[in-house]
Amino acid sequence: MKTNEILPIENIRIGLQANNKKDLLKKMCELAAKSGKIENLEEVKKKVIERENLMTTGIGQGVALPHAKTNAVKGIVGAFAKLKENVDFNSIDSKPVKYVYLLVGRENNTGMHLRVLSRASRILHNEKNISELDKCRTEQAILDFFVQMEEDE
């Protein structure tokens, strides 16, 4: 799947504010719902929080990749936020997060879900790429960044 199919511009937000990790996860699910691909928002929130409770998805370097699988979505849906203020996420490096990329896929599509999650992880676990994201001032610039990364693979 192409980036703009998973992460439409309406699912990207610069300056998202959250009080804590749980609030952030809920707001990311609400952002993902803007795509129209979420059939049951409360179920998606529940699954994302359940998955996060198993083990942190804060991968370090100020990045979190929360994800879940549920049949409450149509296909794969993503949301990306550059936070206004960093949020403690119990990340593996103990640093708060600034960037959050949520990914929710259907239960029966594990292969595609893992490929998309792996691509996002490769992109966001790279200091040079994080530096480029820091320069993005618009949602369109962030989308263009991810599309370019996909084309470069």
Please give the distance of CA 90 from its chain centroid, rounded to a whole number.
16
- Give yes or no: 125 in active site: no
97 vs 83: CA distance, rounded Å:
8
Kindly name the residue from 67, 82, 98, 113 that is annotated as catalytic: 67
Closest CA to 37 of 136, 106, 115, 133: 106
Q: What is the 3-state secondary structure (H, E, C) of 27-94?
A: HHHHHHHHHCCECCHHHHHHHHHHHHHHCCCEEECCEECCEEECCCECCCEEEEEEEEEEECCCCCCC
24 vs 17: CA distance, rounded Å:
8
Active site residues: 67
